[in-house]
A and B are shown apart, each in its own frame.
Chain A
């Protein structure tokens, strides 16, 4: 059953690549979640997608190894902004170690897009997570 569902999703994707811009992603571009800044955040980290120069800045309040609050600022395409929205929502309340373990598979699952035919867009989807993880590494060093 699960397999059948996946297959159907995949076939739909093949039929209409515009799926990548499903309503939800465009909606998140127009009305992003957790957009903003936190002045007294322990993590403040900015990074760029080297292939296009898109920028994401992450602000996270950390307490006892957990993310208490998180916001982001950024300039980017629909996928990078939607990923930042969904990631910030997902990691709220999570342990830093848990976030550090997150990789491409988790991020794409949160995003809910099949980017297997769009490898260049994976960089867009991964930007926010990469910035957050770099911020966590910096925090560990300080």
Chain B
């Protein structure tokens, strides 16, 4: 297991007080805090080797370029891919949109089937919905059962899908989907499978080869890295066949008055000056996580999620969303409290220094399906302890008293 108390010391922000109380940060599914190692890496870049990458021939430019490309190798190793299969984007949303534009727009025809799930985040759900509308394709949605899981019967919808885009772990119920089985069904019909790994890659060992998925999107800021850097993994054969998403500098092989040719992957998909500081920070974040070991991160996640579910379950009128077994979830617990609106829960918790999320979490279709407008969510990471969960439960009881 990981040493939470030791880890906490690496995160300067955890020393701050909020409303006079110790900060209890339980909004990690929205974004995680950053360790000193990541902050230092960004400061070091700006203090010592800030330059544009892939352009200059001077020392700073070479150092920045080497560092930038080293992170690509690191990310590739982290998910068992090849470096040229790693495209740096702004975030998961941009990565998912890139696929819809660069792959979807030129490969989907009228009448073909596009499939997602009712629990997908708007960042995956909406681009596919729009693609279906533009191409006059069929748009099918896999449903969930009472526990917030996709029953196997729903997998039928994946048969002969041209594209399926499925969230690996739900940001509302925490449900981890069996994307390997889903991808297999889609491949049997020669379709393409996209996984949104925003809530899974930060929390568990991901092997894109083992899962046999075609695309994977995830974002740095939910795994200790700065905001503004995301990753798109794509199978080499697919990326090579695709047309560019954005045109401009750095993605070019040659430009003439009448025509232009594109660079090889990954440069083909990285037009313009990239977020070098973000990428450098992402490299430091991966180093930090690898040192802990992703299997240990996962063990910690399961333990704290289990503890939270047990303790929340003791509070009257609290209903926990999602699978009962913490091993089937990523590190978050979505819940409702009878008679208290999630906004009001969040506000009372904030007065106790506790940060949670309240709202529809950019997953409105799932909330509509469940017949609720908004929910509250506590989400965990490597620096959260049982004391944080205890603080959450105490404050929830206070909220309940106030509104009872």
By a beta-carbon cutoff of 8 Å, the part of chain A in contact with chain B is 16-18, 20-21, 26, 29, 51-55, 75-79, 118, 121, 124
Q: Are A53 and B367 in contact (CB under 8 A)?
A: yes
Q: Give the residue of B341, B364, B373 whose beta carbon is less than 8 angstroms from that of A55.
A: B373
Which listed residue (A17, A20, A26, A54) contacts B373, Cβ 8 A?
Answer: A54
Interchain CB contact (< 8 A) of B19 among A17, A26, A77: A17
How many angstroms from the CA of A17 to the CA of B346 in the assembled complex? Answer: 12
> Chain B's nearest CB lies how many Å from the CB of A115?
11
In the complex, how many angstroms separate the beta carbon of A22 from the nearest chain B beta carbon?
11
Query: Which B residues between 1 and 60 are near A, CB-CB below 8 angstroms?
Result: 19
Measured between beta carbons, the chain B residues less than 8 angstroms from A51 are 359
The 7 closest A-B pairs by CB, nearest first: A77-B343, A77-B341, A52-B359, A17-B351, A53-B373, A53-B360, A52-B374
| Interface size class of chain B, counting residues whose CB lies under 8 Å from the partner chain | 10 to 19
Interface string of B358-386 (1 = CB under 8 A from A): 11100010010000011000000000000
Partner of A53, one of B347, B350, B359, B403: B359
Pull 5 A–B residue pairs with CB atoms less than 8 Å apart, ordered by A.
A17-B350, A53-B373, A54-B341, A77-B343, A79-B343
A75: min CB distance to chain B, Å: 6
A21 with B347: CB separation less than 8 A = yes
Q: B348 an interface residue at 8 Å Cβ cutoff?
A: yes
> In the assembly, what is the distance between CA of A116 and CA of B147, in Å?
40
**Chain A residue with minimal CB distance to B399?**
A21
Residues of B within 8 A of A20 (CB): 347
- Asked whether, in the complex, the Cβ of A18 is within 8 Å of the Cβ of B341, the reply is no
**A20–B351 CA distance with the chains assembled, in angstroms:** 10
Chain B, Cβ-Cβ closest to A118: B347
Q: Quick one: given A16-B351, A29-B403, are A53 and B344 in contact (CB under 8 Å)? A: no
Question: Are B344 and A78 in contact, CB atoms less than 8 angstroms apart?
Answer: yes
Interface positions of B (Cβ within 8 A of A)? 19, 341-344, 347-348, 350-351, 358-360, 364, 367, 373-374, 402-403
User: In whole angstroms, what is the CA distance A124 to B344 when docked?
Assistant: 11
B348 to A53, Cβ gap below 8 A?
Answer: no
Complex CA gap A53/B341 in Å reads 12
**Choice from A29, A52, A78 contacting B358 with Cβ under 8 Å:** A52
Nearest residue in B to A75 (C-beta to C-beta)?
B373
The residues of A that contact B342 with a CB separation of less than 8 Å are 52, 77
A18 and B373 contact, CB distance less than 8 A: no
Q: Is the CB of A21 within 8 A of B344?
A: yes
Contacts of B360 in A (CB 8 A): 52-53
Given contacts A21-B402, A26-B403, contact A53 B374 (CB under 8 A): yes
User: Which B-chain residue is minimally distant from A123 (CB atoms)?
Assistant: B343
Residues of the B chain whose Cβ atoms lie less than 8 Å from the Cβ of A55: 373
Q: Report the separation of the CA atoms of residues A14 and B403 in the bound assembly, to the nearest whole angstrom.
A: 22
4 further interface pairs, Cβ-Cβ under 8 Å (given A75-B373, A121-B343): A16-B351, A26-B403, A52-B374, A124-B343
Whether B358 and A121, one on each chain, are in contact in the complex, defined by CB atoms closer than 8 angstroms, is no
Identity of the chain A residue whose Cβ is nearest the Cβ of B351 in the assembled complex: A17
Q: Point out the residues of chain B lying under 8 angstroms from A121, CB to CB.
A: 343, 347
Given the complex of chains A and B, what is the CA–CA distance between A78 and B348 in angstroms?
12
Name the distance in Å between B270's Cβ and chain A's nearest Cβ.
32
Shortest CB-to-CB span from B314 to chain A, Å, is: 24
Contacts of B358 in A (CB 8 A): 52
A23's closest neighbor in chain B, by CB?
B402
Shortest beta-carbon distance from B41 to chain A in Å:
31
Distance in Å: Cβ of A72 to nearest Cβ of chain B:
16
Nearest CB on B from A16, distance (A): 7
Q: Which residue of chain B is the closest to A54 with respect to CB atoms?
A: B373
Taking CB atoms, residues of chain A closer than 8 Å to B351 are 16-18
The docked-state distance in angstroms from the alpha carbon of A76 to that of B403 is: 14
CB pair B344 A54 closer than 8 Å: no
Chain B: minimal CB distance from A35 (Å): 16
For B374, give its contact among A17, A26, A54 (CB under 8 Å).
A54
The listed residue (A16, A75, A77, A118) touching B344 by CB distance below 8 A is: A77
Bound-state CA distance A17–B373 (Å) is 25
Separation of A51 and B342 alpha carbons in the complex (Å): 12
Residue numbers in B under 8 Å from A76 (CB-CB): 341, 343
